[in-house]
Structure 1
């Protein structure tokens, strides 16, 4: 036997810590306690040999599961001792949560709560989401114990449906079971039944007999709520023997519900038989739960009817002992839970809400300021556009008036009438004037040709360039450019644009049909390839736009 054990130990050497841990929990969850204990011992031995403090701590944790309370508590104290100097880890929060679970398992809920609260404090200081979650979940179990099932259900539901890599499959299953119990206690039967069916399917797939029996037990509680007493009795009687070997707490709860089912059938003898067995179990484990008050009350009343004063006195004594323990725990938990857990959580939630509202206010104010700036910009641009449009209209009106006056007098030069519109800014276009002298006879010839060019309105042809105009009048581009610069006071491009714009200004006033053309047609008519080039040249020459100019002509003719 010893050789076989040594062989098993040797075979464990090939596994990593994570693999050993998985094997431990696999054995432990399937009630193979000797095998799980063997792995825990090897785990600790390996960690000590390698002087790995964190894994030594985990070894102590694994070993404590299979020990009685006093010994298990010593192993947890060893975890605290070896991790006390480790900085930036999930200790001491984890140590306190492990200790809290040990106290809870042994029905010392006062000490369990204190450990959970302190563990939560350290977890929050480390900002360890996983340990915070574990503390919240464990405190939710205590809330459920004292009857605050609606509050507990919120926590179980949150972590059941939003795991976020915080809980493993085992813990996920435990929360589903806890949530089912809460739903049954607060009569959310449909929700409970859905989760029971989900759990039964999962347990069948994994072939976990304990979970199969546990979900059958919860299904029986559901039947009991539905007043299907016979069905509940059948299920509870079937699963009790399997549950009692694994978890005495659940076994006692099963007996309590079995008694309730017999009571539903008015079978007092079976109720008493079941409750008597339950009392015997409670004395062995010394683990209590609030519903025990109902058990002892029923037994006292039963033996009172039977006039069995000895049994009546016995169960009164049992009731007082259990009630005292329950009352102490309940009074402490109901006082300390709100003070140490609920109130700080509410204050934190209040602070988070206040900060959220502050942030929202900041965003709101910033948005308002931004919108106001946009509004001011829009208003500014609107009034600027109106002012510009007014200026453009004024310029257009002056141009129209000047042309009409010139046409009526036939002797006034438009440039003299509104010289500011045609004045060449100093050094604007004459800075490129060529300084070399063109022969006088050539200059006279070019000026004469330009006069013909202007009089015959040849500038309206599309595609005129300095090169082809020079070719047409039989001169070179240098002479032509110099002559235009020196005698017209502008470069060739400005000279050509001015001729076209002067022409279109006058024709638009005189020719109603021409005014009805679209701008692209007008542009093409006076030699431009596109309307954009025409509009730019028009604005540069006059200070207003073709559209406004045409509109003002129309307005002046309708007055």
Structure 2
């Protein structure tokens, strides 16, 4: 049973101070006027609320603001009877027909649905809520979707689907605070508590009730305080704590009856059930009779009224009061017919118009999600295949390069070993590199270079002799050798020295020095096992380099391979012998 809960009043806000409306109307903007309207409306001050609504609409028309004119019609419809209220909502529909944005027409259908709900036409309420939800989804307006879902959840409670309704209320209570305002947030909690009571989750209901009672007491909100007092009484009724329930329900009823609020109907029903539980038929009948008199005026029904009329019929049957017995039979038949029509419609149309479309949408969402996952999976697999192919290519290339480097190293080793066999060790100079690696001068080239020289022949011969000694004594292994220092040591100048090296050796001084050092390293590494075990820095320093990076670069440039590959191939060659 959904007790005293009405669909959400869209865009309401109760956070403002009490003020004299007549003195502040002209000074107030639209949000302030709307806040004041809801303040008076929710405190059952319909006259003041109506004055604000009229002023709001006149101000909007004067400003020629379509959105605010629509809001003015919305405020006006709250304080009118059904026919007049419906005319205002129709005017709202006409004003917003061509309004851009994602608010209308979804909001119009939800407002009309609330109006039908208020006057107990649940069929029309459902139809409008469903239309509002459809438009809200098309316009992707999260707030309107939330309002539609919550209001449809109220209808679910009417046909006993409290578990399904509780899921909706709990979701929007805890997950969508940015959509619902304080008033609506409170209604979600009230609705969730009521559902918990109906499905006998009384512990969960009582926890929320106690939290809400404390909050309402601190905020001095009398309406909310008495709402939760009623819910506490209703929970105690379910637990058969009748006396405690009566005390709470009676206190809440004093407030709601005074402000002529519809909540009083549900309190009278609960009070009657309490007295029925205590066996006090007279007081039970008193509350049920009073409830019937209110229902006749408002024509607002709820499913539990069947229990009220069957109790009254049985009571007057016992009293042999046929007149009243007949009267309540007639009342029962009228109410039951209306309840039956609404129940049948809601129980048939709710699954068809709401549950089934939602399931289909959920199914479509799952299908799309799976399709997207499949697409992502295919892209990922494709990407991984590309990476695998790239890695395979890089691996193949590295293996091919490694094989080439090993071949170069082997050729170098064989070439050097052959040179060592051909040349006596005593007179051997540093071996020449493999023809495939080091450029060899032709006789024509040397002759051509010699014809271009400017150095005197005797100086040339002297320098060549000194260079031969320089190479034989391995003086190139000293650190810090420069063309200037070498020229000075052989008593010549750098011009002559550079020219001789360029013309006779076919390279500049730096290349000449590096080639001597690398050729020495190639030869010694083959012969000297201990030298091969040196760290890279030690080998570089042994060869006269200032750092290992300079040596590594020179070695790679000269041979085309790294030192580690060369040493590895030497070890393999020695092991195979």
Does the alignment reach a TM-score above 0.5? yes
Aligned position for 1:115: 128
The change in CA–CA distance for 1:187 and 1:425 in structure 2 (over 3 A counts) is farther
User: Aligned to 2:438, which of 409, 416, 422?
Assistant: 422
Superposed CA deviations along residues 380-420 of structure 1, whole A, max 9, x for unmatched, are 22232223223222322332233333333436999789421
Q: Matches of 1:530 and 1:415 in 2, distance apart?
A: 24
The change in CA–CA distance for 1:266 and 1:531 in structure 2 (over 3 A counts) is farther
User: Aligned to 2:414, which of 401, 405, 408?
Assistant: 401
Counterpart mapping for 1:54-453 below 5 A = 54-88=67-101, 90-163=103-176, 165-246=178-259, 248-410=261-423, 418-423=434-439, 437-453=454-470
Deviation at 1:309, TM superposition (A): 4.3
Instruction: Give the conservation status (yes or no) of the 8 Å contact 1:60–1:79.
Output: yes
Instruction: Give the conservation status (yes or no) of the 8 Å contact 2:316–2:325.
Output: yes
Instruction: Give the conservation status (yes or no) of the 8 Å contact 1:30–1:208.
Output: no
Q: Matches of 1:100 and 1:83 in 2, distance apart?
A: 17
Tell whether 2:502 aligns with 1:489.
Answer: no
Instruction: Give the conservation status (yes or no) of the 8 Å contact 1:220–1:231.
Output: yes
Counterpart mapping for 1:453-492 below 5 A = 453-492=470-509
Aligned position for 1:3: none
Instruction: Give the conservation status (yes or no) of the 8 Å contact 1:415–1:422.
Output: no
Superposed CA deviations along residues 186-241 of structure 1, whole A, max 9, x for unmatched, are 22223222222232223223212111101100111222233322111110111112
Q: Matches of 1:455 and 1:270 in 2, distance apart?
A: 131
Aligned position for 1:535: 552
Q: Compute the RMSD of aligned alpha carbons.
A: 2.6
Tell whether 2:567 aligns with 1:554.
Answer: no
Deviation at 1:324, TM superposition (A): 1.0
Q: Matches of 1:474 and 1:141 in 2, distance apart?
A: 111
The change in CA–CA distance for 1:351 and 1:469 in structure 2 (over 3 A counts) is farther
Deviation at 1:177, TM superposition (A): 0.9
Q: Matches of 1:381 and 1:147 in 2, distance apart?
A: 68
Deviation at 1:166, TM superposition (A): 1.8
Q: Matches of 2:539 and 2:253 in 1, distance apart?
A: 101
* Secondary structure of residue in 1 paired with 2:436: helix
TM-score by length of 2: 0.89
Q: Matches of 1:245 and 1:469 in 2, distance apart?
A: 118
The change in CA–CA distance for 1:10 and 1:53 in structure 2 (over 3 A counts) is farther
Tell whether 2:542 aligns with 1:525.
Answer: yes
Instruction: Give the conservation status (yes or no) of the 8 Å contact 2:430–2:519.
Output: no
> Which stretch shows the higher mean deviation, 275-284 or 304-313?
304-313
Aligned position for 2:60: 47
> Which stretch shows the higher mean deviation, 301-310 or 493-502?
301-310
> Which stretch shows the higher mean deviation, 322-331 or 116-125?
116-125
* Secondary structure of residue in 2 paired with 1:112: helix
The change in CA–CA distance for 1:20 and 1:340 in structure 2 (over 3 A counts) is same
Aligned position for 1:504: 521
The change in CA–CA distance for 1:81 and 1:138 in structure 2 (over 3 A counts) is same
Instruction: Give the conservation status (yes or no) of the 8 Å contact 1:497–1:537.
Output: yes
Deviation at 1:307, TM superposition (A): 4.9
Q: Matches of 2:102 and 2:422 in 1, distance apart?
A: 101
Q: Matches of 1:393 and 1:459 in 2, distance apart?
A: 28
Instruction: Give the conservation status (yes or no) of the 8 Å contact 2:209–2:231.
Output: yes
Deviation at 1:504, TM superposition (A): 0.9
Higher relative contact order (CA 8 A, sep 6+): 2
- Gap runs ≥5 in structure 2: 1-19
Deviation at 1:91, TM superposition (A): 2.2
Q: Matches of 1:10 and 1:301 in 2, distance apart?
A: 57
The change in CA–CA distance for 1:398 and 1:69 in structure 2 (over 3 A counts) is same
- Gap runs ≥5 in structure 1: 1-6
Q: Matches of 2:136 and 2:472 in 1, distance apart?
A: 96
Deviation at 1:425, TM superposition (A): 11
> Which stretch shows the higher mean deviation, 451-460 or 263-272?
263-272
* Secondary structure of residue in 1 paired with 2:311: helix
Deviation at 1:51, TM superposition (A): 2.3
Deviation at 1:87, TM superposition (A): 2.8
The change in CA–CA distance for 1:125 and 1:425 in structure 2 (over 3 A counts) is farther
Instruction: Give the conservation status (yes or no) of the 8 Å contact 2:432–2:519.
Output: no
> Which stretch shows the higher mean deviation, 25-34 or 297-306?
297-306
* Secondary structure of residue in 2 paired with 1:370: helix
> Which stretch shows the higher mean deviation, 380-389 or 523-532?
380-389
TM-score by length of 1: 0.91
